[in-house]
Chains A and B, each alone.
Chain A
Amino acid sequence: MTAIVEVEGVSKRFGKVRAVDDATFSLEGGGIHGLLGRNGAGKTTMMQLLTGQEFATSGHVRIFGETPVENAPALRRVCFIKESQVYPDAFKGKHVLRAAPWFFDRWDAAFAERLVRIFDAPLDRPMKKMSRGQRSAIGVIVGLASRAELTFLDEPYAGLDAVARQRFYDLLLEDYTSHPRTVVLSTHLIDEAANLLQRVLVIDDGRIVIDADADELRATATTLVGRAPDVEAFAVGREVLDRTNLGGIASVTVAGLSDDDRRAAASAGLEASPVSLQGLVVSRTGRADREEQNA
């Protein structure tokens, strides 16, 4: 497999703000990948750099082995759906879907019609009068029905309810199975999407802090729950990612447990459970001490 996305030492500054800071990663063709991070971490900027909408301050961005900037043949193989997409004032939902096949070669009109029914998209309503969820539905329809070889979905379901989001996950997986392609999904609803993701990129403060296979990532940490003294005794000398105490019960998330460690934990009366992807991302990007360091 060759890399479909390559990012080498890419930075993007807006004045003094480093929206993306010396990011390096690559993605191989095929698969659904997650670009995760907090609001303002640089997810959207990264996707805009990957689709030629923004110009990198330094570094190299390549899709299909070429720069995306002003590269029509490469961009025609790309679909980028973002929550902040602007539509012309005169556009109703139907005009968006009417225009889509002129720009996406692999557009599937029948699939789009099916998606319109599933998401109950109001095609006769002006885009600017739609609710956030309705606008998201239009974006999701375009993002799926365009079947672009490289699809970027930036918070595609903002404002959609849990039922609609679950439909989206199911449809994404279903359509991905029948029409394999590369999808990069950014979201802050990490656990909802976790099962879809093959590779996980976590961006924090403009930097790529995690770049790992989702399953491997989950195996890197374990949460142990038990009586506080037992937990503390076990945690001594280990890398603790997260720690909570509730009365006499404590829980710690520790990195890199071996099989022997697990047996030792079990014999100490601790209950081990895998860490959720969300828990891991939060522990790596959301800790208070980090914020203090940055202050």
Chain B
Amino acid sequence: MSATDISPSRADGAAGRAWSVVRMHVANPVPTLVFPWVITLAIFGINVAIWSMVVSAAGGVENLEADAFQYNGGISWIVVFMMITAVQAMNQAFRFALGFSVTRHDFFIGSASYFVLLSLVYSAGLTVIAGVERATDGWGLRAAFFAPWGLVDQPLGTVGLVYLAALLLAFFLGAAVASVWVRWKTYGLYSFFLGVAVVVVGGLWVVTTTNSWADLWSFLTSTSPAALAGWTAPVTVLCGVIGYLFMRRATPRA
């Protein structure tokens, strides 16, 4: 906050204006600060019920293989959810914010701050629960829900880093794709997905013709989760820059 702030409700500086946009995104905190935790707990609860049923049928945890409950992807829903949150923010919240005399610059900086803050909140929260999961021997069931498969044997710091990287990537990828829609609508998305298809197929072509599949797999399997999380950073930053540049000239047309 800048020193020129007169009262908490006034936001004169650039930082203050961005903060107003952050607050706007959580003017109704339920969809992004409450709802995801409730759904996560519900998914977790259903998993616990299934595990307990299996354990009961097996006559005890010790009768099951040690990693029986460790290949779970339930938590990944939250990454998808956050991507949708970013799309909605760029679309609806953008048009709302411009109607409230916010500049595109302030809107994007504020929204990006909001994405970073949400990523921090959720990666920290999920990591803490993953710590509890480990401390309780997988909820007494040798289960891994909050730090499943690839993360089972990783330190908690890495678990947090992977969550943070995944959430940031989801937010900014969602924002970048949505910015194409907001700026160029239907034809923009056609062109975008055509471009993505060309790049993906071209990439596959290059990997195949250079006989690099083995190298690619060995890179993916030999690189630690922490390093893979680090590799998302340039992509995330690129998406952020693209989103900003596209939104700078976007208009709130219906």
Contacts and interface: CB of A to CB of B under 8 A. Distances in A.
Interface in A61-95: 70-72, 75-76, 78-82, 84-92, 95
A250 to B, nearest CB: 45
Contacts of A75: 101-103
From B88, B93, B100, B101, residue with most partner A Cβ within 10 Å: B101
Contact of A80 (B31, B99, B249): B99
Contacts of B251: 48, 53-55
A52 B248 CA distance: 12
Contacts of B102: 75, 103
A101 interface: yes
B142 interface: no
Contact of B96 (A51, A81, A86): A86
From A70, A87, A96, A102, residue with most partner B Cβ within 10 Å: A102
A78 B101 contact: yes
A75 B28 CA distance: 24
A78 B20 CA distance: 16
A99 B100 contact: yes
A86 B254 contact: yes
A185 B30 CA distance: 36
B95 to A, nearest CB: 4
A91 B27 contact: yes
Interface string B124-138: 000000000000000
Contacts of A95: 27-28
Nearest to B252: A53
Nearest to B98: A53
Interface residues of B, number: 31
The A interface is mostly helix, strand or loop, or mixed, namely: loop
Given A53-B251, A72-B17, A85 B27 contact: no
A174 interface: no
B212 interface: no
A103 B21 CA distance: 9
Interface string B84-105: 0000100011011011111111
A160 B80 CA distance: 40
From A80, A88, A95, A105, residue with most partner B Cβ within 10 Å: A88
B101 A102 contact: no
Interface string B8-39: 01110010010010011001101100000000
B6 to A, nearest CB: 9
A176 interface: no
A214 interface: no
Given A53-B251, A55-B249, A89-B88, A103 B101 contact: yes
Interface string A92-131: 1001101111111101000000000000000000000000
B103 A100 contact: no
A85 B20 contact: no
A191 B11 CA distance: 40
B101 A100 contact: no
Contact of B27 (A76, A79, A99): A99
B103 A98 contact: no
Interface in B71-117: 88, 92-93, 95-96, 98-106
A41 to B, nearest CB: 17
Interface string A206-249: 00000000000000000000000000000000000000000000
B27 A98 contact: yes
Nearest to A142: B100
From B20, B88, B103, B105, residue with most partner A Cβ within 10 Å: B103
Given A102-B9, A102-B11, A102-B23, A90 B101 contact: no
B252 to A, nearest CB: 6
B99 A102 contact: no
A78 B49 CA distance: 56
Interface in A16-53: 48, 51-53
Contacts of A104: 100-101
Contacts of B103: 52, 70-72, 75
Interface in A179-215: none
Contacts of A85: 95-96, 99
B17 A99 contact: no
Contacts of A70: 103-105, 248
Interface of B: 9-11, 14, 17, 20, 23-24, 27-28, 30-31, 88, 92-93, 95-96, 98-106, 248-249, 251-252, 254
16 contacts: A72-B14, A79-B101, A80-B99, A80-B101, A81-B99, A86-B92, A86-B96, A86-B99, A87-B92, A89-B88, A90-B30, A99-B24, A99-B27, A102-B11, A103-B102, A104-B101
